[in-house]
Structure 1
Amino acid sequence: MGFDDIAPEASQSPASLRVLARRSQFLALNRAVRVPAGSFLLQARDRGDSDPVIGVGFTCSKKVGNAVARNRAKRRLREVARLVLPAMGRPGWDYALIGRAGATAARPFDALLADLRAAVERAHGGSRTGRS
């Protein structure tokens, strides 16, 4: 079962998730809203198209650790995105979750969920950090 097959719960919005795969999608996100969330960095951007799907991508650099550590961090980021973004993400937007060394894999899961919820609210609240 992948992100394309996610069926949102009744209490969530009908938005579905699609995993970002192309480098150009990540480069576009790099020029968008950047929200530090403590245990990871969230990048968010309005695609400006009529596609109602929410795009989501994940990345962890080698600073996070070896392949095992990076994969564990990305698994955790995928799970929090699966739980939070269908309800809080906006259709037509792309999001990238970027893991941080020593923080993403070690943070308690409930705190990771709270980090993403707060970061999505800040991304949509108009407070821009980093690049404009």
Structure 2
Amino acid sequence: MATPGFVLQLRRRDDGDTTMRVGFTVTRKIGGAVIRNRMKRRLRALAREHLPTLGVPGADHVLIGRSGGIERDFSVLGQELAKALRKAN
């Protein structure tokens, strides 16, 4: 699911393991290393906050940062991630 701040990709593994895995990707199109690292930190914080309760057990979650994610308010990003996870579930 695409939002202005990030894209959430979800793949169910169907291997019987209920562990949730998460990955983060931010391309160089977003900006230099400082900007990319800041976006990755924001994505990690969002995942720590929302994946334990709303994540899909036994699935791989990938958050891809978009250029709009740096300027967006963190609470708005959190609401968008919660909505995307509910829709994926």
The alignment status of 1:114 with 2:74, answered yes or no, reads no
**TM-score normalized by structure 1?**
0.65
Secondary structure at the aligned position of 1:106 is classed as coil
What is the identity percentage for the equivalent residue pairs of Structure 1 and Structure 2?
46
**Residues paired across the two proteins, number:** 89
**Alignment root-mean-square deviation, CA:** 0.8
| Alignment partners' CA distance in 2, 1:89 and 1:80 | 12
| Structure that is richer in helix per residue | 2
1:90 deviates by 1.6
Aligned 1:1-132 pairs, distance under 5 A = 35-101=1-67, 103-124=68-89
What are the ranges of 5 or more consecutive residues in structure 2 without an aligned counterpart?
none
Structure scoring higher RCO (CA < 8 A, sep ≥ 6) equals 2
Structure exhibiting the larger radius of gyration computed from Cα positions: 1
Which aligned runs of 4 or more in structure 1 are off by greater than 3 angstroms? Answer: none
| Alignment partners' CA distance in 2, 1:66 and 1:51 | 37
What are the ranges of 5 or more consecutive residues in structure 1 without an aligned counterpart?
1-34, 125-132
**TM-score normalized by structure 2?**
0.95
